């Protein structure tokens, strides 16, 4: 199937089958906002189209037997990184391209102690591949019996096929690359490295080729922060990388923490409710073509009423609301190795809610909004859903 509907006649035929909820269009007309009117029409069309699909075939994040209820061990190897992304919340305190890992023994110990049958392990940082020892860690995880071994990486060092192959040979089964634009200019500028886009693109090509060569590694996935320079172009972004062979995307809320909380990062801020219609349009269009896309870190009240009338659609959009149990082991040169539950940390310390949240239908499940976002933008844009 083509990635998106190309045939104009096909589009027209499908449009005719979809009825338009008047309440939505009246609201937008009252706002006298032509762009939103266009979005409303598109979203209505997309909802109609998505209705015809079998969701279980197009989306698996919520397939309970595979991911939900499984234990995920996250080993954070520290903040060392070879890029300086403008809105990075980890904000590396020191740079390097191929450094020794101070915490190798600790990381090995954590891998052993946190293992349980069926558990997954994910390595993150900083940039985990900036440590040569990452190969040893992946190899150890495989020997211990971890069911899936994954890596969150910026992909810069995996542009070297030998390096990418070494990781797959060691036992890597899944890779998630951080890419935030399909424009080389934007990606290079925000990462502070000329040529970063092309290196990341090459890394994606390498992992696609390795997926075709080995049965053990999944096609690459992308982790993308939604920001001011990309939110209006998410449809093109998804199309571009889908054509390269990416089969899963996560659109993440910007958290203004670390370097992301600096004045320089303000140029990338966009309000969640401003980005929401663009995200939804991109996601619905992608789902219609079988692409897996979810959103992380956004509260459900940012979505328009159509979403709240469809629990199945919301559950696919709302990637935070899973029952994955994540144990994080984080290393810092000062504090050493610290263990915590990511779910508890997020809901009890990193997110906040409004006095009106108890009126909302999602109050019991929703964790609210990142504290760091609320401290800059406030919470006025979030309105309880009382449908």
Q: For binding to ligand SF4 (CB under 6 A), which residues are involved?
A: 299-301, 353-354, 357, 360, 362-363, 366, 368-369, 382, 384-385
Of 146 and 272, which has the nearer Cβ to ligand SF4? 272
Bridge partners of 293? 249
Of 277 and 299, which has the nearer Cβ to ligand SF4? 299
**Tokens read off for 4:** 């998106």
DSSP 3-state percent helix, strand, coil across the chain (nearest 5): 45, 15, 40
Of 122 and 372, which has the nearer Cβ to ligand SF4? 372
List the one residue out of 163, 148, 158 whose CA is nearest residue 179.
Answer: 158
State in angstroms the smallest separation of the CB of 298 from ligand SF4. Answer: 9
State in angstroms the smallest separation of the CB of 83 from ligand SF4. Answer: 32
CA atoms within 13 A on the CB side of 383: 8
State in angstroms the smallest separation of the CB of 165 from ligand SF4. Answer: 44
Of 160 and 356, which has the nearer Cβ to ligand SF4? 356
Of 142 and 274, which has the nearer Cβ to ligand SF4? 274
Of 117 and 355, which has the nearer Cβ to ligand SF4? 355
State in angstroms the smallest separation of the CB of 356 from ligand SF4. Answer: 7
| Alpha helices (runs of H) in 145-248, residue ranges in sequence order | 161-170, 184-191, 196-213, 234-244
List the one residue out of 137, 130, 150, 120 whose CA is nearest residue 90.
Answer: 130
What are the C-alpha distances in Å from 347 to residues 311, 320, 368? Answer: 22, 11, 8
Of 196 and 253, which has the nearer Cβ to ligand SF4? 253
State in angstroms the smallest separation of the CB of 30 from ligand SF4. Answer: 22
Bridge partners of 153? 177
State in angstroms the smallest separation of the CB of 354 from ligand SF4. Answer: 6
Of 196 and 307, which has the nearer Cβ to ligand SF4? 307
Q: Coil, helix or strand for 159?
A: helix
177 vs 152: CA distance, rounded Å: 6
State in angstroms the smallest separation of the CB of 223 from ligand SF4. Answer: 23
Torsion of CA 280, 282, 287, 290, to 10 degrees: -160
State in angstroms the smallest separation of the CB of 336 from ligand SF4. Answer: 35
List the one residue out of 171, 154, 164, 162 whose CA is nearest residue 97.
Answer: 154
Reported for 341-345, long-range contacts at CB under 8 A and 24+ positions apart, including other chains, are: 342/74
Given the DSSP bridges, would you call strands 71-76 and 325-332 parallel, antiparallel or unpaired?
parallel
DSSP code per residue over 357-372:
GGGSTTTTT---EEHH
């Amino acid at each position: 199937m083509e990635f998106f509907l190309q045939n104009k006649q096909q589009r027209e035929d499908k449009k005719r089958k979809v009825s338009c909820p008047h309440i939505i269009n009246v609201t937008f007309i009252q706002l006298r906002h032509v762009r939103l009117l266009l979005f409303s029409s598109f979203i209505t069309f997309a909802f109609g189209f998505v209705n015809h699909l079998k969701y279980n075939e197009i989306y698996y994040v919520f397939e309970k037997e595979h991911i939900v209820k499984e234990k995920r061990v996250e080993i954070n190897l520290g903040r060392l990184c070879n890029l300086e992304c403008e809105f990075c919340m980890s904000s590396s305190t020191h740079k390097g391209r191929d450094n020794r890992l101070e915490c190798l023994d600790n990381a090995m110990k954590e891998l052993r102690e946190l293992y349980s049958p069926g558990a997954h392990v994910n390595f993150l940082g900083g940039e985990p591949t900036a440590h040569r020892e990452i190969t040893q860690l992946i190899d150890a995880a495989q020997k211990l019996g971890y069911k899936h071994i994954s890596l969150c990486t910026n992909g810069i060092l995996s542009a070297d096929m030998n390096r990418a192959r070494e990781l797959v040979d060691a036992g890597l089964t899944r890779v998630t690359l951080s890419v935030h634009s399909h424009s080389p200019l934007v990606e290079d500028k925000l990462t502070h490295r000329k040529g970063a886009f092309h290196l990341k693109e090459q890394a994606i090509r390498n992992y696609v080729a390795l997926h075709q060569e080995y049965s053990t590694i999944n096609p690459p996935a992308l982790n993308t922060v939604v920001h001011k320079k990309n939110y209006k172009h998410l449809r093109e972004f998804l199309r571009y990388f889908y054509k390269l062979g990416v089969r899963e995307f996560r659109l993440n809320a910007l958290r203004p923490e670390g370097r992301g909380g600096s004045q320089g990062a303000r140029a990338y801020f966009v309000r969640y409710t401003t980005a929401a219609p663009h995200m939804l349009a991109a996601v619905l269009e992608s789902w219609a073509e079988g692409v897996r896309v979810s959103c992380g870190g956004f509260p459900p009240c940012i979505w328009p009423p159509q979403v709240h009338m469809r629990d199945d659609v919301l559950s696919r959009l709302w990637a935070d609301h899973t029952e994955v149990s994540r144990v994080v082991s984080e290393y810092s040169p000062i504090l050493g190795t610290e263990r915590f539950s990511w779910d508890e940390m997020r809901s009890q310390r990193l997110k906040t809610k409004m006095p009106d949240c108890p009126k909302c239908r999602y109050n019991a499940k929703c964790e609210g909004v990142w504290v760091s976002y609320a401290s800059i933008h406030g919470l006025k844009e979030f309105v309880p859903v009382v449908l």
